[in-house]
Structures are given as C-alpha cells and as structure tokens.
Amino acid sequence: MSIPEWLQAIQTYMKMLQYNHTGTQFFEIRKTRPLSGLMETAKEMTRESLPIKCLEAVILGIYLTNGQPSVERFPISFKTHFSGNYFHHVVLGIYCNGRYGSLGMSRRSDLMDKPLTYRTLSDLIFEFEDSYKKYLHSVKKVKIGLYVPHEPHSFQPIEWKQLVLNVSKMMRTEVRKELEKFARDMRMKILKPSSAHSPTKERPRGKSLSPRRRQGSPQRRACKRDKSPAVLDKKGDLAPLNEVGYQLRI
C-alpha cells in the first residue's frame, strides 16, 4: 500500500467512527500530557469505536501513522470568527515526499482531510482558509506545531503552537513567507520545542457549537470541544442541521 493509500485508509476509518454530535466528550484529551499517555488514549479509541471530534482525530491520526517513519505529522490549529463568535479547530498536518496534506474530523467535509498533493505548507493553509470562506468564517489565527516524534513511548508532550500567525492582520505574501521559512526549518529539523518542559496553561476557548453541556460531569468539564462552522439563526436553542451537524440558534 502506498503512503497516500495508507492515509486514505486511516481517514476512511475515522469517518466510520463518525463525528461526535452528541455533546458528550467520550475521551479526555489534555494537550499537556506526554505523547505516551495520549497514545494510550488513542488505543482506547480503537477499542471503544465511539464517535470522535477534531482533537481526538489528531491524536488518533498520530497513533495510526506511527508505523510510517517517512510520514511527518504536525498539528495545525485555526481560530476563526463568525457572527460575533470565535471558533477553534485543529487538524493533523502531513508532510511526505515533498507534499503536504492533512487528516482530521469536522462537521464540514472540506475542513478535515486534504490529499497529499500540496507543494508547500502555505498552499495547504490557504486551501483551508478558502474552505472557511464558504461558511462565511474569517480566519484570525493559524498555529503550527512541530513534527511529532514517531516514538510512541516518548514522555515529550506535543508542541502545538511553535508558530502563531495573526493572519487577519497580514498580507498573504507575508503569511506565505513566514510559513515557508517555518516549513523549511522544520524539514531541516532545526526547530526545538519551546514549552516541552514547562507547559503553559491553555487559554479558554471560544463558544461551543455542540449541545449545552450538563454542569455535573467533571469529565466533560475537563474536555475540549470542536468548533468547526455551523449555521446560525435567531432563535433560542439547538436544532438538527441535516446529517452534517447542528444548528445554533441565538
């Protein structure tokens, strides 16, 4: 099986698990945990076969690509703005044989996996930005992490945001220049984790598009939520948005 076929098989497996629309987080993902602990959570995902969201998909994608040393994996996070609210989303960037792509899960089919065909990292990021525009979301920030080690027993945490770009205040030429410099440095393996030994406290994230969470569950309060785009109207609760996702009524 070729690498593109292998990646497609992984993405197909994720889609079979389905996106988690329930509002209950089935797996706790703490970004500051060592990689070894996150890989144990990924094993649990394969055993339980429950629906997942974007952050869980990144961890599962890392776990399922550990056997392919020629495949480099790194997190890509997006902060977007729509209708007065901020939303967060994360996918797993892939680099192999001079091409970029991604794996992930989202309510929207064009905000998750991308084929391994993009010549540069900036081409991949701009593809996501163009996809967001279809849902009237403006991308405010893009965060790129470092390559994730292929050693599943590593005690090193994932570096989630080595590069942070405030793309809403930058020209595309500036964004491309910064991304390509960063991508070149990553390929040369000269970048070092900035917070591997002193993880910073994660900042609160934007408003959730998932159904209202019950207040009594400590596990659910500890978990992160996916905020990929949904459609908004002017009433007072959540309603189904066909088979794709949920609709938040304000």
Domain residue spans of the chain: 3-187, 218-249
**Spatial distance between the Cα atoms of 206 and 144, rounded to a whole number of angstroms:** 19
Measured CA distances, 131 to 3, 59, 135, 159 (Å): 25, 23, 7, 25
- Yes or no: say if 85 and 206 are a contact pair by the CB < 8 Å rule: yes
**Is 210 noted as a catalytic residue in this protein?**
no
**Is 54 noted as a catalytic residue in this protein?**
yes
CA nearest to 74, candidates 6, 150, 145, 152 = 145
State the burial class of residue 26 (Cβ atoms within 10 Å of its Cβ: 0-12, 13-18, 19+).
middle
Q: Facing residues of 141 across strands? A: 79
How do residues 201-236 score in pLDDT, each as one tens digit? 444 444 444 444 444 444 444 444 455 555 444 444
How do residues 157-178 score in pLDDT, each as one tens digit? 999 999 999 999 999 999 999 9
Active site residue: 21, 77, 102, 106, which one? 106
**Spatial distance between the Cα atoms of 6 and 12, rounded to a whole number of angstroms:** 10
Average pLDDT on 20-37 reads 92
**Is 217 noted as a catalytic residue in this protein?**
no
Active site residue: 21, 77, 88, 89, which one? 89
State the burial class of residue 6 (Cβ atoms within 10 Å of its Cβ: 0-12, 13-18, 19+).
middle
Question: Is the pTM higher than 0.85?
Answer: no
State the burial class of residue 19 (Cβ atoms within 10 Å of its Cβ: 0-12, 13-18, 19+).
buried
How do residues 102-158 score in pLDDT, each as one tens digit? 999 999 999 999 999 999 999 999 999 999 999 999 999 999 999 999 988 999 999
Q: Say yes or no to pLDDT of 77 above 70.
A: yes
**Spatial distance between the Cα atoms of 200 and 210, rounded to a whole number of angstroms:** 26
Would you state the pLDDT for residue 191? 72
Please tell me which of 160-164, 187-191, 192-196 the model is most confident about, judged by mean pLDDT: 160-164
Q: Say yes or no to pLDDT of 242 above 90.
A: no
Tell how strand 245-249 and strand 232-233 pair up.
Answer: parallel
Q: Say yes or no to pLDDT of 58 above 90.
A: yes
What's the number of CA atoms in the CB half-sphere (13 Å) around residue 138? 11
CA nearest to 83, candidates 207, 186, 236, 218 = 207
Active site residue: 54, 122, 131, 210, which one? 54
The first and second tokens of residue 78, run together, are 């997006």
The C-alpha angle with vertex 161 and arms to 180 and 170, in degrees rounded to 5, equals: 50
